[in-house]
Chains A and B, each alone.
Chain A
Amino acid sequence: MNTSPPCLEVRHLSKTFHEGRRQVAALQDVSFAAYPGEFITIIGPSGSGKSTLFNIITGLVEPNSGEVLVRCGDERRKRGRVGYMPQRDLLLPWRTVLGNVILGPELDGRSKREARRRARELMPLFGLEGFEDAYPDALSGGMRQRAALLRTFLTEREILLLDEPFGALDALTRRELQRWLLGIWQRFRKTILFITHDVEEAIFLGDRVLVFSPRPGRVVMERRVPLARPRLPAQRLSNELLALEAELFAALGVAPGRE
């Protein structure tokens, strides 16, 4: 996998926010690379700067130092180089599902008709068939997340940033969507960065797991997940994984002590 150049490179990122007279260090010297088609999961306690990292990669926030190199994307643009799905689905309530998912191509100025055609094609895969003309308020939580994911996929970006997409869902829906997401990812071969609070989710989904420390966020551990693809639910329980899980929990636990 490391033979091809990285799709995304994050180099020595640091960011400090000023809240009144207080200074809050959100990120400190964060570096990593994502290779084409890789699924990277990022775990860390709340307030470890994970969302700030995403905001810097999308171009919403300027870092104090360091840089983000997006090789799989339009390098001339400052924003809109990656697909981004925030924690809340943020569907536009005044648009139907179809109108929502074609937002990406629409903002790019691409043909809306073509985008609609492609969206209709993908509706069954995203479990939204028959809901094209429904308003978001009529959808269940799981469906809203799938609609938001379809919107993110339809941006046609190589790199997708998913910020705790399943955080607000119940455990059953969540497992179902995890497996479904892996299926989608295998089909489209995107490079995915996936933030989560859930160690088990991080292992089940990721090729690699990055562990962030509490504020200021740093990468305190990086582990490759020794699991073959495609992944099966039964693999969640293997001894090897349980050991990795324990290791990641330990990294999350000791991280504050390393200040």
Chain B
Amino acid sequence: MRVEMRDVLDALRAAILAGLAAALLVSVVAGALVFYSEARAVGDRSLAHIFPAPRAVYQSWQQHRARLLQEHIPETLWETVSGLAIAVLLGVSIAALMDFVPLLRWLLYPILVISQTVPVFAIAILLILLFGFGSGPKIAVVVLFCFFPVALSTFSGLQSADPELLALLRAMGASARQVWFKARLPAAMPSFFAGLRIAATYSVVGAIFGEYITAQRGLGVFLKRSYSSYRLDQAYLAILITAALSVLLVVLVNLVERLVLRWYYTARRSSWRGTGIY
């Protein structure tokens, strides 16, 4: 069996990453142990509230597991995924329209950019206050967060198609429709996925933020209640779950990307490195 330089480097990278992770874990655990034993020695229990022990976080998970799994997480996931889906549909459509119609490009592009200079948070709060408690306004907030990166990256992807290639297709007798579907759209895919990956990380944040302002269910409201009742162990739990959801979503996007853009990854990196957060 031949061992290639690349495999050696891959193994080396894995070793270094594993070493770093282990070192981090050991120092955190050791640090925490020292910290708690010293806090206990002076009898100061308030620190345990600010820095809840991992065990306390785990206990709060056990305490709230049923409600989290049945109410909060599904609610947040629903808002995230449907918001992201709407943002993708909307973003791709707007990008396509701007690509097709020069007049719309001329009109919409500045509006798109200016819309991003207004703090998204300010608009989000307005939306929630206007439309109230349901999940609809939260989905709208997610759309607000995610729409822009999708639209912009898809648009620049569509514009990036090789003009000589487009000319070749026209010379071969292709209609405008054929040129778009056979050259422009596929050429935009790598760029679209770059935007989608950003949007995926924003989407969970958007949903949590929307719920945080006001809601009846969802991780955001769970987080807010935890803070107001000074239950930081619960807050840490909410943060952990949020992070896990984000990672899950990004990994999912990467998986789809690698399936759809097999050509891109076989070309750019000669081996398929599986899914991950690259």
A-to-B contact residues, CB < 8 Å: 55, 58-60, 77, 79-81, 83-84, 86, 88, 90, 92-95, 103-104, 106-108, 135, 137-138, 155
Whether the pair B171, A60 counts as a contact (CB closer than 8 A) is yes
Residue interface mask B184-196, A partner, CB < 8 A = 1: 0011010000000
Could you tell me how many residues of chain B have their Cβ less than 8 Å away from some Cβ of chain A?
A: 22
B268: min CB distance to chain A, Å:
8
The complex places the Cα of A60 from the Cα of B187 at a distance, in Å, of 22
Residue interface mask B150-194, A partner, CB < 8 A = 1: 000000000000101101111111100010001100110100000
Whether the pair A107, B167 counts as a contact (CB closer than 8 A) is no
Nearest chain A residue, comparing its CB with the CB of B167? A60
Nearest chain A residue, comparing its CB with the CB of B267? A137
Task: Given A92-B165, A92-B186, A94-B189, answer yes or no on A84-B172 (Cβ-Cβ < 8 Å).
Answer: yes
A-side interface mostly: loop
The complex places the Cα of A94 from the Cα of B267 at a distance, in Å, of 10
Residue interface mask B253-267, A partner, CB < 8 A = 1: 000000001011011
- The residue that B164 contacts in the complex, of A83, A90, A135, with Cβ under 8 A, is A90
A60: min CB distance to chain B, Å:
5
B-to-A contact residues, CB < 8 Å: 162, 164-165, 167-174, 178, 182-183, 186-187, 189, 261, 263-264, 266-267
Whether the pair B172, A103 counts as a contact (CB closer than 8 A) is yes
Whether the pair B173, A108 counts as a contact (CB closer than 8 A) is yes
Whether the pair B169, A94 counts as a contact (CB closer than 8 A) is no
Residues of B within 8 A of A83 (CB): 172
A218: min CB distance to chain B, Å:
24
- The residue that B173 contacts in the complex, of A55, A79, A137, A138, with Cβ under 8 A, is A79
Residues of B within 8 A of A103 (CB): 169, 172, 182
The complex places the Cα of A107 from the Cα of B183 at a distance, in Å, of 12
- The residue that B170 contacts in the complex, of A79, A88, A106, A155, with Cβ under 8 A, is A79
Residues of B within 8 A of A138 (CB): 266-267
A21: min CB distance to chain B, Å:
24
